[in-house]
């Protein structure tokens, strides 16, 4: 398929409500709803991405006869970066329910000046050679975390296809991904234009990891 950037909220749908609740400073205090809304958006993007897979026709026996159905020939591997991406990842594997998963531990190392570097500590993954990988993470802010992780993976494996999915992406983050990973397929629920000096997306939703799992010390 041609390289593209899919933005979910360009089309009005019930997903707008899930996004609005994630952003709403009052509603997002409900941790369960905050995680659940990310999960629901993960399910919706999984559905959209599933349209890009390869399908073949097979017969399914019903109690009354034989039905011809088109089924995907593969399940992608679904990866995320701990910890904020976990609820979004759950949505993907709810729909890709036979998929393998990969997990990455990475964090921002903030200097006194406020500048930060990304430290990728560990990538725990199944074999990825020749497979389709969906890297999903709630926030694509500068894009540095996801680009660094994808480059490490691409140095080791020839993937069939690489998808990056985010709940909220910044315009700058998308540009960084495009500049460094030209063949990637990008999927976001919404795109925001601004970032703070500490690289938080504006208006964004705040700190996704803290809202889902509690304030990090
Ligand atoms: O695009 P970038 O500028 O690299 O930032 C994106 C990263 O920030 C968020 O994690 P966060 O740093 O909040 O950590 P946490 O998941 O441990 O809370 C998010 O889940 C990404 O991993
Ligand atoms: O806006 C942002 C950027 C990075 N991490 C977050 O949790 N939020």
Q: Over the stretch 106-163, which tens digit does the pLDDT of each residue have?
A: 988 888 887 888 899 999 999 999 999 999 999 999 999 999 999 999 999 999 999 9
Q: What is the Cα–Cα distance from 15 to 13, expressed in whole angstroms? A: 5
State whether ipTM is beyond 0.90: yes
Helix (H, G, I), strand (E, B) or coil at 14: coil
What's the gap in Å between 4 CA and the centre of ligand 1?
23
Point out the ligand nearest to the CA of residue 85.
Answer: 1
**Ligand 2 contact, 208 CB (< 6 A):** yes
Using a 6 Å CB cutoff, which residues line ligand 1? 81, 83-85, 107-108, 118, 137-145, 173, 199, 207-209, 216
- For the chain, which domains are there? 5-213 (3.40.50.2020)
What's the gap in Å between 210 CA and the centre of ligand 2?
10
**Ligand 2 contact, 84 CB (< 6 A):** yes
């Amino acid at each position: 398929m041609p390289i593209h950037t899919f933005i979910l909220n360009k089309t009005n749908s019930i997903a707008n409500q899930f996004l609005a609740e994630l952003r709403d400073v009052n509603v997002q205090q409900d941790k369960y709803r905050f995680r659940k809304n990310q999960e629901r958006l993960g399910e919706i993007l999984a559905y959209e991405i599933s349209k890009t897979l390869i399908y073949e026709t097979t017969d399914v026996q019903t109690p009354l006869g034989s039905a011809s159905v088109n089924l995907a020939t593969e399940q992608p591997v679904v990866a995320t970066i701990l910890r904020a991406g976990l609820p979004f990842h759950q949505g993907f594997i709810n729909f890709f329910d036979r998929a393998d998963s990969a997990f990455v531990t990475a964090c921002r190392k903030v200097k006194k000046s406020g500048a930060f570097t990304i430290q990728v500590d560990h990538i725990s993954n199944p074999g990825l050679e020749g497979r389709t990988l969906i890297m999903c993470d709630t926030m694509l802010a500068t894009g540095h975390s996801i680009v660094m992780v994808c480059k490490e993976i691409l140095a080791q494996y020839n993937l069939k296809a690489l998808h990056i999915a985010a709940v909220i992406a910044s315009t700058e983050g998308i540009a960084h991904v495009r500049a460094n990973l030209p063949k990637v397929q990008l999927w976001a629920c919404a795109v925001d234009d601004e970032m703070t000096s500490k690289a938080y997306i504006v208006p964004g939703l705040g700190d996704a990891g803290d809202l889902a799992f509690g304030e990090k010390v």
